Structure 1
Amino acid sequence: MNKEQRFQKVAELWNANMPFNQLLGFEISRFDDTRSEISFHWHDKLIGNPMQKILHGGVTAAALDLAGGVVAAASIIANMEEASAQVIQENLSKLGTIDLRTDFLRPGRGEHFVASAHIIRSGSKVAVARMELHNEKNDHIAFGTGTYMVS
């Protein structure tokens, strides 16, 4: 299995088997070692301020965290030579968020949202990612920095 096939397989598994992300409507739409993207559509269950009808801050932070975690996972997979599904799973089981910073730039309004991330640094133990959240009009809603345990 080549690197792209491994990325695709993990994205499919995570989209199908992460109940919290399914609850929020998150879908991994891009998964590789240069950039990840998480997309989701507006739904009233995501409201954080009913008077303004904007995204809950926790939804924004969760989308950024998932995008950062996905690109950190991709950096782990990219550094593996030929690896079985079991070896990939064992390595990804060590993945976890150490620190997450979210900066809210404007209210989370829109119909469709995309959280994207890229790696700033990927080491043998820790990876750091930079994330952004935009709506369908490309309004920059939030950005974040995440630090992830990768081994």
Structure 2
Amino acid sequence: MNKEMLIEQVGAMFVNGMPFNQFLKISVESLSPEQAKITFPWQDILIGNPVQKILHGGVISAVLDNVGGMLAAASVIDKLIDLDMVSVKNRLATLGTIDLRTDYLRPGKGKSFTASATLIRSGNKVCVCRMELHNEQSVQIAFGTGTYLVG
């Protein structure tokens, strides 16, 4: 199996293997070792402020963490020499968020949302990503930085 196929499977795992991501209706738009992009639609159940009808801050933070984690996983796979599924699963089993910073810039208003991540650094133990959240009108709602344990 090649790296591109494995990275695609990891994206599918993040969506299909995590009930919370299914609840959010996340879909992967793109995933590579350098960048990731996911989308999700507005749902009334995601309201954090009923007066303003805006996204809950926890949803925003969780989505940023998701796209950063996906990118961290893809960067791990890109460095692997052994591409068998057992090696990949063993390596990704330790993947976890060490630190997540979310800066809320504007109220989370929109019909759909796109979270993107770019790789800042990918080392043997730690991966650092920068994430952004925009609505369908390209209005930036939040950005964040995620540090992930990858080894």
TM-score range for the pair, normalised by the shorter chain length = over 0.9
Compute the displacement of 1:15 (Å): 1.6
Note the residue ranges of structure 1 that are not aligned, 5 or more in a row.
none
Compute the displacement of 1:5 (Å): 0.9
Contact 2:64 2:131 in 1 (8 A): yes
Residue 69 of structure 2: aligned partner: 69
Once the two structures are superposed, residues 105-130 of structure 1 have per-residue CA deviations (whole angstroms, 9 ceiling, x without a partner) of: 00000011010001101111001000
Which deviates more from structure 2 when the two are superposed, residues 8-17 or residues 90-99?
8-17
Compute the displacement of 1:29 (Å): 2.2
Looking at structure 1, the residues matched to 28 and 18 of structure 2 have their Cα atoms a distance apart, in angstroms, of 11
Compute the displacement of 1:7 (Å): 1.0
Looking at structure 2, the residues matched to 121 and 66 of structure 1 have their Cα atoms a distance apart, in angstroms, of 17
**Counterpart residue identity of residue 132, structure 1:** E
Q: Does 1:40 align with 2:40?
A: yes
Give the alignment's TM-score, normalised by structure 1. 0.97
Compute the displacement of 1:50 (Å): 0.5
Percent sequence identity is 53
Looking at structure 2, the residues matched to 116 and 73 of structure 1 have their Cα atoms a distance apart, in angstroms, of 14
Superposed counterparts of 1:1-150, under 5 Å: 1-150=1-150
Give the alignment's TM-score, normalised by structure 2. 0.97
Looking at structure 1, the residues matched to 8 and 38 of structure 2 have their Cα atoms a distance apart, in angstroms, of 14
**Counterpart residue identity of residue 36, structure 1:** A
Note the residue ranges of structure 2 that are not aligned, 5 or more in a row.
none
**Counterpart residue identity of residue 74, structure 2:** A
Looking at structure 2, the residues matched to 142 and 46 of structure 1 have their Cα atoms a distance apart, in angstroms, of 16
Compute the displacement of 1:80 (Å): 0.8
- Could you say what the CA RMSD is over the residues aligned between the two structures, in angstroms? 0.9
Compute the displacement of 1:34 (Å): 1.1
Looking at structure 2, the residues matched to 71 and 124 of structure 1 have their Cα atoms a distance apart, in angstroms, of 15
Which portions of structure 1, spanning 4 or more consecutive aligned residues, are displaced by more than 4 angstroms? none
Contact 2:99 2:147 in 1 (8 A): yes
Report the count of equivalent residues. Answer: 151
Compute the displacement of 1:150 (Å): 0.2
